[in-house]
Structure 1
Amino acid sequence: MTERRNELAENLARVEERISTACAKAGRAREEVTLIVVTKTYPASDVRLLAELGVRHVAENRDQDAAPKAAACSDLPLTWHFVGQLQTNKVRSVVNYADIVQSVDRARLVTALSKEAVRTGRELGCLIQVALDAESADQQHKETGDRGGVAPAGVAALADAIAGAEGLRLGGLMTVAPLAGPYAGRQTAAFERLMEISSGLRVNHPAANMVSAGMSADLDEAVAAGATHVRVGTAVLGVRRRLG
């Protein structure tokens, strides 16, 4: 376990250096960017080590893996983010442990999340997942992207729905760098477009200032564009034999 702890500590230090460097280049304070470690497919023992090393935000993308892991780590001072595509039949389980759902992309999901948040007496943070691959001219008929999310044109209405839903708090936006469309392979342009959408969102919802963008391969570009949160998995946990 000591060997694994040392490995995670070294990886965290390297990621921290990348974030700090990116912030300095962008003229931003390091405190403006929160690191979320994506612990999907990795065991609860890793989550415990990360907590010992100072990590306070972790993310999962599959409820069947996340629920038992969160339960096993319920004594830790962690904020749990759910970042995967969420089916309504998993909402009851996810609301039991997630503090923030980053992948809200449709009104039906808002209704389901609100119902469970009220039932459990919790306030759930919600980010709208924006599908930038649904913005191109030949895809304007699409409401969602290939990796989930709502088209930019649908953000305002969904934001109003979340803001008006009992038990939910509109936190801001999330995106995954698209594999198709006008922003494919253009992470910087994609993240800058997300920031434009965020600025528009904050006209009517000024408190929705969270922008979750950037992963292991492109966190530097995300920080440069203005992301407030980066989601990093491989760069912290490494490539090792995974569970499941």
Structure 2
Amino acid sequence: MTERRDELAGNLAKVEERIAAACAAAGRRREEVTLIVVTKTYPADDVRILSELGVRHVAENRDQDAAPKAAACSDLPLSWHFVGQLQTNKARSVVGYADVVQSVDRVKLVTALSKEAVRAGREVGCLIQVALDAPERPAGSGGVGERGGVSPGSVEELAAAVAAAEGLRLDGLMTVAPLTGEYAGRQRAAFQRLMDLSTDLRRTHPAANMVSAGMSADLEEAVAAGATHVRVGTAVLGVRARLG
């Protein structure tokens, strides 16, 4: 365990250096960017070590893995983020531990999350996942991205649904750098587009100022564009074993 702690501490320090350097290069204060460590496929023991090392935000993308892990770590001062594509039948379980759902991409999911948040007596933060590999379609086009999310043209409509839903809080926007389409291989441009959408959103919803973008390979581009949160897994925890 000591060896694993040393490994995680070293990796975390390197990521911290990268974020600090990116902030300095962008003329931003380090405090403007929050690190979320993506702990998917890694055990609760690693989450516990990360907490001891000062990590306060962790993310998961599969409820069947996240629910027991969050329960095992319920004594820790952590905020749990759900970042994967979410089926409505998992809403009750996810609302039980997630402080923020970053992958809201359809009204049906908003309805399910609202119902379960009210039932649980909780307020759950929501980010609209934006699919930048989708055409700039008009409102109502629904989830159109290969990795989930809605087209930019649907953001305002979905945001309004979240803002009006009991038990939910509209926190902002999230994206994953697209592998296809106009922004493929252009992470900086993709993240800048997300920031433009965030500016538009905040005209109607001023408190929705969270912008989650950037991962291990492209966190610098996200920070340069103005992201408030970066989601880093591999650079902290190591290369994941291939799932069968």
Q: Output the TM-score relative to the length of structure 2.
A: 0.96
Match of 2:80 in 1: 80
The alpha carbon displacement at 1:239 in A equals 2.0
What is the correspondence of 1:143-182 to structure 2 with a 5 Å cutoff?
A: 143-182=143-182
Match of 1:220 in 2: 220
Unaligned runs of 5+ residues in structure 1 are: none
| Contact kept? 1:213, 1:227, Cα under 8 Å | yes
The DSSP-based 3-state class of the residue aligned with 2:133 is helix
> Matches of 2:142 and 2:95 in 1, distance apart?
28
The DSSP-based 3-state class of the residue aligned with 1:86 is coil
> Matches of 1:51 and 1:242 in 2, distance apart?
25
Backbone CA RMSD of aligned residues = 1.5
Consecutive aligned runs of 4 or more in structure 1 exceeding 4 Å deviation: 140-143, 240-244
Change (3 A) 1:243 1:197: same
What is the correspondence of 1:108-127 to structure 2 with a 5 Å cutoff?
A: 108-127=108-127
Query: Deviation digits for residues 58-110 of structure 1, max 9, x if unmatched?
Result: 00000000000000000000000000000001111000000000000000000
The alpha carbon displacement at 1:144 in A equals 1.4
The alpha carbon displacement at 1:135 in A equals 2.3
Match of 2:43 in 1: 43
Match of 1:239 in 2: 239
Match of 2:134 in 1: 134
| Contact kept? 1:172, 1:209, Cα under 8 Å | yes
The DSSP-based 3-state class of the residue aligned with 1:48 is helix
What is the correspondence of 1:96-107 to structure 2 with a 5 Å cutoff?
A: 96-107=96-107
Q: Which amino acid aligns with 1:103?
A: S
> Matches of 2:105 and 2:64 in 1, distance apart?
20
Report sequence identity in percent: 80
Q: Which amino acid aligns with 1:134?
A: A
Count matched residues: 242
The alpha carbon displacement at 1:241 in A equals 4.7
1:65 equivalenced with 2:62 (yes/no): no
Q: Which amino acid aligns with 1:105?
A: D
| Contact kept? 1:36, 1:229, Cα under 8 Å | yes
Q: Output the TM-score relative to the length of structure 1.
A: 0.96
Change (3 A) 1:162 1:141: closer
| Contact kept? 2:136, 2:153, Cα under 8 Å | no
Query: Deviation digits for residues 204-233 of structure 1, max 9, x if unmatched?
Result: 000000000000000000000000000000
> Matches of 1:63 and 1:114 in 2, distance apart?
17
Q: Which amino acid aligns with 1:158?
A: L
Q: Which amino acid aligns with 1:208?
A: A
